[in-house]
Amino acid sequence: MRDMKYNLFVDESCHLEHDKIPIMCIGYIKVPKLVYAELREALLKVKFQFQTPAEIKWSKLSRSRLPLYKCLVDFFFDNPLEFRCVLVKYKDRLSHKDFNQGSHDNFYYKMMYYLLRPNPSGSQYRVFIDIKDTRGKDRLLKIDEVFKNHHHGDSPFIHYQNLRSHESVFFQLADLFIGSVAYKNRRVSGELIENKLKDEFVDYLEQKSGFVLNEGTPIWESKFNIFDFQPKSIVK
């Protein structure tokens, strides 16, 4: 019998194959099912206190919203929530022909595998993925197949479902953190120009987490984990 149950809310940024963006980030917010309703209600109260009924998104960061977004960071670190993401650098180096059977979709499933795999098999997980396109159902079936094969039919990932980001405040928190990681890496690479407001928020998140967002964290870090994945260059 598996002891604990969790809900994982998965979001992604810069995931398209030909978007000319050098990085990709996919990650989740992990919520213990036992306190899910309590934490959800508390997060909604935080939004209400700041009179912000609208959806929380990294792209909507503004001077007026900055105090709310910092408060959400505090909320995350004060409660039993976890964040993990896979940060793909140098996306232009990807050789799907050599490593992914010629398919960007296969690469996506591989990254999803790297993202979810570290979760202990002694617990159960319900995985909710933000809808990005019309192929969501097929992707869920494939991810389910991957983990059932890995766990010989006894996968701890017992449920997969597509939802839209406005349907869960935890998706919105994942979007905020993933957007921050993606932004920091695009800034460091010189792709994006300075944005003092976003830089201030990133600095705050780095201070609270104890990690810089453009590097991987120790593999044993569970509260705020970044897995730094760098494709190898192929010498022809």
105: in domain: yes
Residue 234 burial (10 A CB sphere; 0-12, 13-18, 19+): exposed
Q: Above pLDDT 70, what percent of the chain?
A: 87
Does residue 150 belong to any structural domain of this protein? yes
The answer to whether residue 197 sits within a structural domain is yes
Residue at 201 is within a domain: yes
Question: pLDDT digit string (tens) for 10-38?
Answer: 998 855 555 677 788 999 999 999 999 99
Closest residue by Cα to residue 49 from 22, 68, 23, 69: 68
Question: Domain of 154: which CATH number?
Answer: 3.30.420.10
Tokens of 145: 């197949």
Domain range for residue 176? 5-229
pLDDT at 234 over 50: no
Residue 235 lies in a domain: no
Task: Tell me, yes or no, whether 187 lies in a domain.
Answer: yes
Q: Indicate the helix (H) or strand (E) that contains 70.
A: helix 66-78
Q: In total, how many domains does the chain have?
A: 1
Question: Is residue 236 domain-resident?
Answer: no
Distance of CA 43 to the CA centre of its chain: 18
Residue 160's DSSP bridge partners are 127
User: Of the candidates 225, 185, 195, 229, which has an alpha carbon nearest to the alpha carbon of residue 81?
Assistant: 225
Q: Which amino acid is at 206?
A: E
pTM value? 0.90
Residue 98, pLDDT above cutoff 50? no
Average pLDDT over residues 116-123: 93
pLDDT mean over 148-169: 90
The answer as to whether 58 is a domain residue is yes
**Pairwise CA distance, residues 143 & 110, whole Å:** 9
- The two tokens of residue 22 are 């050098």
